Amino acid sequence: MDALNGLMFGLQVAIQPEFLLAAFIGVLAGTAIGVLPGLGPVAGAAVLLPFALTLDPAAAVILIAGIYYGGMYGGSISSILLNIPGEAASVVSAFEGHPLAKKGRAGPALGITVFASFVAAMLSVVAVILFTPSLAKVGLEFGPVEYLALALGGLILLARISDAGKGWAAGLLPLAAGLALGTVGEEAFTGTNRFVLVPDLATGISTVTVAVGLFGIPELMKMVSEKQGSTRIAPVSVRSLIPSRDDFKNSWPATLRGAPLGFGFGLLPGPSATLATFSSYKLEKSVSKRKHLFGKGAIEGLAGPEAANNAASTSSIIPVLALGIPFSATLALMLPALIAQGITPGPMIMVEHPEIFWGVIASMIVGNLMLVVLNIPLIGVWVRVLRVPIPFLVAGIVGVIMIGVYSVQESSLDLYILLLIGVASYVFKRLDFELVPLLLGVVLGPMIEENFRTALILHHGDVTKLFTEPIALVIWVLVVGGIAVSQVAEYRRRAKEKRLASASKTQEALQAEAR
């Protein structure tokens, strides 16, 4: 299926009532969740994951994708109005957006956010449509050996890159814990129970419970512990959202620069949206003819990062669907939504389940149109949401979480596991461990084990075949190369820190002698 036919097929899927509703709920919930400081799209997607599992697989992915890019926009609202980012990728929006709000120009700042986000998302969808069909041809060559290399190698690389600056243990130990949790329950080949301490564990630990416990509970605990209350902010009218002609003139070039920059970052491991926004801001600051306005309300310093943010959010869905490897915590929640319904993300999804792949891509066009239509009239609602006292909000979310987790397997044991994982993950975060590798270990562990055993059976126990098959060999070389690059970058960073520390001590000694 070529790009044009794929898009037309996807649009036929996306405009069906069930999928339109999923996109609507996703972008609406994502924006509301993004608006709330400290919650963010990860926790929001985790909370709604039990509900997503009741939907068609394509609708479930569309829902989570909507939460993801809707959350990116919602996070910018709190950054601009309160100077409190809804999540990490919205930090840069506060640099220029909040100074504009303090000048009484919150409306145009929010309007430019909608404009830049929509334009970048549409450009990225076009690039996705042109880029992804070539992956389908590669996908036809994949077998157990290739899937094993892709899943295991990708996990190792992601764990290493995500813990950059923290040491190997920060990513690999949670990954090992996730793989261990993934072995609990009935073994697929022989039916033997493993680590089943109580009968309810025979079906394994629910990935939904793990996801919500890892990302939902800690964020709620953080919100409560920080004792956030409601905040007074000035009202924003719909009419004030319309930017001036000069605003558009200064924003267009920045938007067109930020979109391709963000698209490229979205295809790379790591916090792509966050890195894209900071890189775009630095780029705009370096090329702008109005450098003196940066930090005081330069509209291009808001438009560029917003475009990069949403472009990265769009393109980062490619690795999830086409490779089965998510590069962010929110997108990682797409995997249990698919795997729980018997669908394996990866190169073959374009061939075996085109309705999911093309339906999700087409839904991004529909979802971003919904974001524009919804958020212009709803800006007053989001302002009111920011005034809701946090304790009341947390209490309601906890109730929804417990109902959702229990409904997946109708097991009270899942509620105890949810509590244990939630408390443990809160501790892990305080100790600076990465949580995404743990979730991916639980989700991909059974698939890694199955492909490993199948590959050994097909090759009569020859372990060397796992590394010498052409595609697998290329994947492993890329993994080793990625780890090597990460190590070199880490070595340079530490060497620079030592030089700066040494120079600082020398300066202090000279000052002491002078005194």
> What's the burial of 144, exposed, middle or buried (CB within 10 Å: 0-12/13-18/19+)?
buried
Residue 173 has pLDDT above 80, yes or no: yes
pLDDT tens per residue across span 28-41 = 888 887 776 555 67
Residue 201 has pLDDT above 60, yes or no: yes
Q: What is the mean pLDDT of residues 269-276?
A: 65
Which pLDDT score is estimated for 113?
83
Residue 387 has pLDDT above 70, yes or no: no
Which pLDDT score is estimated for 230?
47
pTM of this prediction?
Answer: 0.63
Which pLDDT score is estimated for 5?
77
CA 409 to chain centre: 26
- C-beta separation of 246 from 290 below 8 A: no
Residue 163 has pLDDT above 60, yes or no: no
Mean pLDDT of the chain: 77
Q: What is the mean pLDDT of residues 349-366?
A: 81
Residue 164 has pLDDT above 60, yes or no: no
Find all residues with CB under 8 Å of 37, minimum gap 6, and list them: 78, 82, 84, 85, 86, 228
Which pLDDT score is estimated for 50?
76
C-alpha neighbours within 13 Å on the C-beta side of residue 397: 26
Which pLDDT score is estimated for 281?
81
- C-beta separation of 376 from 241 below 8 A: yes
Name residue 123's amino acid: L
C-alpha neighbours within 13 Å on the C-beta side of residue 121: 30
Q: What is the mean pLDDT of residues 398-420?
A: 78
Which pLDDT score is estimated for 234?
53
**Local confidence band at 306 (pLDDT 50, 70, 90 cut-offs):** confident
Which pLDDT score is estimated for 13?
82
